[in-house]
């Protein structure tokens, strides 16, 4: 049988969404790419000569906190003026229409929140929050740039970005709430993620195993493209609005 066209797949998914009771959406860097946020594994994921992956680790911060803070200040400067795109906005519309909706994002850029998404779980933290390495105090701080090195207001300890680095645990309440939503979902969309970073990478397969229809939207194939029920090749900012409007 001939491969379905993107239009046919979008139509099928739209019909399924019209009947969905609990939609879970997992997003990655790809949904913010059209807003101007560099992806991690794309050509634009470099700062100076460093790959983001080499600086987003507890080891890098321990060795050279100044370098790591300069990297995060650069990203804060880059992201501060950026706005949500039609992909983020389409998800806000889906949240309004569906009986139950949970957005699980790996992104730390905060653009889903700016767009107006409400029931949201930030798996990898948020770039606009800082956390004290000494007393654990957490707060939102949108200052750009932050002083290098930034210090805690209550104890003077060194602050770090409130994000999850490689080798660190995700916050258990956030992870547990994600698994609970996935188990209760009847449809899951996996959007703009390369499916290479655990535990997020396995969430679509878990949804499939627990009975959800799983659809992927991505510009390029991923390790899971053939495993999901529906895979739509294209830009999130083009495809998501078609799921809403059609």
Q: Which residues bind ligand BJW (CB under 6 A)?
A: 28-30, 33-34, 39-42, 56, 106, 108, 124, 163-170, 192-194, 196-199, 218-220, 222, 235-236
| Minimum CB distance to ligand BJW smaller for 50 or for 184 | 50
Give the shortest CB-190-to-ligand BJW separation in angstroms.
10
155 touches Zn ion by CB under 5 A: yes
112, 124, 162, 229: which is the annotated catalytic residue?
A: 124
Burial 95-128 (b: 16+ CB within 10 A, else e): beebeebbbbbbbbbbbbbebebeebbbbbbbbb
Binding letters toward Zn ion, positions 88-127, x by CB under 5 A: ----------------------------------------
Report the distance separating Cα 66 and Cα 80, nearest Å: 21
State the DSSP code for 139.
E
Comparison of 42 and 145: residue with beta carbon closer to ligand BJW: 42
Beta bridge partners of 217: 191, 232
Residues 6+ apart with CB under 8 A from 47: 55, 71, 74, 75
Whether residue 22 lies in the annotated active site: no
- Residue 159 touches Zn ion, criterion: CB under 5 A: no
Residue nearest to ligand BJW (CB): 30
Structure tokens, 153: 């207001």
């Amino acid at each position: 049988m001939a491969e379905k066209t993107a239009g046919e797949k979008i139509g099928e998914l739209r019909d399924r969404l019209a009947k969905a009771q609990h939609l879970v959406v997992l997003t990655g860097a790809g949904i913010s790419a059209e807003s101007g946020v560099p992806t991690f594994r794309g050509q634009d994921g470099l700062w100076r000569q460093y790959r983001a992956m080499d600086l987003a680790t507890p080891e890098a911060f321990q060795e050279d906190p100044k370098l790591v803070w300069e990297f995060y200040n650069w990203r804060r400067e880059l992201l501060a003026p950026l706005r949500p795109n039609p992909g983020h906005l389409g998800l806000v519309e889906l949240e309004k229409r569906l009986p139950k909706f949970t957005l699980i994002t790996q992104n730390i850029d905060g653009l889903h929140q700016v767009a107006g998404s409400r029931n949201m779980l930030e798996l990898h933290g948020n770039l606009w929050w800082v956390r004290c390495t000494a007393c654990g105090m957490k707060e939102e701080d949108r200052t750009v740039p932050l002083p290098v090195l930034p210090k805690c207001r209550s104890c003077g300890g060194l602050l770090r970005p409130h994000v999850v680095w490689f080798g660190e645990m995700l916050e258990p309440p956030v992870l547990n709430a994600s698994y609970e939503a996935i188990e209760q979902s009847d449809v899951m969309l996996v959007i703009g993620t390369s499916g290479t970073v655990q535990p997020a990478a396995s969430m679509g397969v878990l949804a499939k195993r627990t009975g959800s229809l799983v659809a992927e939207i991505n510009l390029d194939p991923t390790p899971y493209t053939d495993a999901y029920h529906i895979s739509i090749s294209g830009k999130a900012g083009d495809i998501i609005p078609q799921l809403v409007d059609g």
